[in-house]
């Protein structure tokens, strides 16, 4: 497996002078996802939890609905100059009866570490219909519980603490306990990893679980949450207009600017039990 961090020399400049020292950087490497030997997606990610990432990605694309939908997952066909496996190509074989993803000119699955849906030609192509609608999930929470989530997440961000260069996503229960935390250079990859963890653990649909992200709430993150049946998405930063629109369409609660004891509630206020 590739390294999660890479150490590089740096010349540090400040008002008090300058010095040279080693610096820890978040690793970023390409991962090619294949399904049945056919290339489906290339994403730039932080190595680690790649099988979870692949499961979460295919869940959010509507291909998977259960861990039994994947027969095998294996690394293949990726070696460096010395012949060692770089673990940058992952091939998933779907179980019998599971339809493979459709590939057409209207969908371009190349993704970057910053955007999970770059290259998708039309808005209709990413408004996927979920098989696990979150609209009817109660998931009652309190504002005080939500306010405590960012600090709890930061305490679990070990690689961020070393590099300052990673996004994080976490699944949490209604009492505020964090069920799983994943980090990645790509915000959408971090979400795919925690959703993939949930799928592999047999927890999907996630009707009794919220999703917390360390950055902004973009359209594709709301989409991924909806595809897994997540009723509440909380973000430390701002949502986009399309993110709010999609959350409302799917009956989700969307919280943004979750910082300290302040937050903005955009949709789904009925799940917050302590509102006047």
Q: What residues act catalytically?
A: 115
Tell which residue, 111, 77, 72, has the closest CA to residue 93: 72
Preceding omega of 103 cis (within 30 degrees of 0): no
For 32, other C-beta atoms within 10 Å of its C-beta total 16
Q: Where are any strands of DSSP class E within 62-147? A: 70-75, 89-94
Dist. CA 61–CA 223, nearest whole Å: 9
Dist. CA 170–CA 181, nearest whole Å: 4
Helices (H), the chain: 50-60, 123-126, 143-156, 158-163, 187-200, 219-227, 241-249
Dist. CA 267–CA 224, nearest whole Å: 17
Measured N-to-C along each axis, helices 50-60 and 219-227 cross at an angle, to the nearest 10 degrees, of 90
Residue 175 carries which DSSP code?
T
Produce one character per residue of 213-244: b if its CB has 16 or more CB atoms within 10 Å, e if not: bbbbbbbbbbbbbbbbbbbbbbbbeebbebbb
Tell which residue, 226, 220, 225, 270, has the closest CA to residue 243: 220
């Amino acid at each position: 497996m590739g390294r999660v961090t890479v150490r590089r020399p740096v010349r540090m400049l400040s008002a008090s002078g300058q010095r040279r020292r080693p610096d820890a950087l978040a690793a970023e490497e390409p991962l090619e996802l294949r399904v049945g030997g056919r290339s489906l997606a290339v994403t730039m990610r932080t190595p680690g939890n790649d099988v979870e990432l692949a499961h979460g990605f295919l869940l959010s694309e509507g291909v998977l609905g259960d861990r039994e939908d994947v027969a095998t997952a294996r690394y293949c066909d990726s070696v460096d100059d010395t012949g060692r496996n770089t673990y940058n190509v992952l091939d998933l074989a779907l179980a019998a009866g599971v339809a493979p993803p459709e590939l057409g000119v209207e969908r371009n699955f190349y993704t970057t570490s910053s955007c999970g849906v770059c290259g998708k030609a039309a808005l209709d192509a990413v408004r996927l219909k979920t098989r696990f609608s979150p609209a009817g999930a109660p998931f009652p929470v309190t504002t005080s519980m939500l306010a405590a989530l960012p600090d709890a997440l930061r305490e679990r961000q070990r690689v961020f603490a070393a590099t300052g260069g990673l996004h994080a996503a976490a699944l949490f229960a209604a009492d505020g306990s964090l069920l799983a935390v994943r980090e990645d250079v790509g915000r959408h990859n971090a979400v795919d990893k925690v959703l993939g963890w949930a799928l592999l653990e047999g927890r999907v649909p996630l009707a009794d679980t919220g999703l917390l992200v360390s950055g902004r709430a973009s359209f594709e993150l709301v989409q991924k949450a909806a595809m897994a049946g997540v009723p509440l998405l909380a973000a430390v930063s701002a949502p986009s207009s399309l993110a709010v629109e999609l959350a409302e369409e799917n009956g989700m609660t969307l919280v943004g600017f979750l910082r300290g004891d302040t937050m903005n509630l955009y949709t789904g206020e009925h799940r917050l039990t302590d509102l006047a």
